[in-house]
Amino acid sequence: MTVRTAPDIGSVQGILRLGNAYCEAQALLTAVELGLFTALHKAPGTERDVRDRLALDGRGLRDLLALLAGLGLLEEEGGRYRNSEGADRHLVSGMPGYVGGSLLGAKANLYPLWNGLTETLRTGRPQAEADGFDAMLGDPAELRRYVRMMEGALRPLVPELLKAVDWPAHRSVLDVGGCAGDLVGRLVADHPALTGHVFDLPQMKAPFDERMAALGLSGRTVFHAGDFFRDPLPRADVLVFGHVLHNWSPGRREILMRKAFEAVNPGGVLLVHDRMLTEGGAGGGADVDGLVASLIMALVTEEGSEYGVGELTALAEAAGFASTSCRPLAENETLVLCRKS
């Protein structure tokens, strides 16, 4: 895992810039929300072109474009703006590498909650509404936004997950909390002998069915509706916990690891990936990305937090897994493989 250090705070200017970093973040999030990078994908444009393409008033647009160029998201030449390579690859809607769904979900759902971090630290209570998740599940528009956010968070990880195990050696895979089935769909498409399963709440079945139909995989994937604390997990050769365990307390993580052990077929493997904390705490060289992710869990869940590889391997051993290994899955994501005899 790459550990990112905080900006230089050796001067008052550095401290003030860190305190106002939300401004630059909002510039990016707003550009994604407006569809600015998508509008510039086919052809560069002037400030006026962008205004007309996006039906904007124009006030502040010149500064926004210049700021995005200063941040390296746009390139400017002769008054015409084009996407930078990274922005064109990851911020254009419909492109394979698009992560805008995750950013838009953060803008709508996470960004407002950070203003309540002080209260969470004082009371221990999250800032998300107690019934907010249930309300989201019952609102089709919000459910679609949630699915897009989960898809955006998963998409950068898929290439490495496709190499995580020898998939042709297995016959079935179960993604627990697999939402619309993006990972399972990709695996089944690449490995026709593999049967894909997703276990998630009943409200996720409609998005799952829609996604599988769009991929032409309706007959090769199965959705299992349930609650993973209340219901048994379907058996499979490979089971995946992706961005699942950080939602829960250590005690509940232990329950889920034991249920996973029961569900994995002999000779199979459990894949766990999260933004796991770098061991060693918050001293010099602190794991900034992991600590931010852990604070998000405090803001949005009743008991969740990020955790270290050491905690997870101890839970895996206690559950009965024969061995574990870990490796980076992305710059700020860790994958742990728990193998069953």
Whole-number pLDDT of residue 140: 87
Q: Which of these, 230, 265, 228, lies nearest to 244 by C-alpha position? A: 228
Domain 132-339: CATH class, spelled out: alpha beta
Torsion of CA 129, 135, 137, 141, to 10 degrees: -110
- Looking at residue 109, the DSSP 8-state letter turns out to be I
Of the residues 41, 224, 246, 273, which is catalytic? 246
Domain 12-90 has CATH 3.40.50.970: no
246 catalytic per annotation: yes
Q: Which residues of 261-291 are buried (b: 16+ CB within 10 A; e: fewer)?
A: bebbeeebbbbbbbbbbbeeeeeeebbbbbb
251's tokens: 């005690």
Angle (CA) 46 51 52, round 5°: 100
Whole-number pLDDT of residue 284: 44
Whole-number pLDDT of residue 96: 87
Give the list of residues 6+ apart from residue 234 with CB closer than 8 angstroms, or none. 174, 197, 199, 224, 263
Asked if residue 3 lies in contact with residue 278, where contact means CB atoms within 8 angstroms, the answer is yes
How is the chain split into domains, by residue range?
Answer: 12-90, 132-339
Mean pLDDT by 10 residues, the chain (341 residues): 57 88 95 97 96 96 96 96 97 92 89 94 90 83 86 88 95 96 94 95 94 90 95 97 96 98 98 86 62 93 94 97 94 94 96
Whole-number pLDDT of residue 2: 43
For the chain, give percent helix, strand, coil, nearest 5: 50, 20, 35
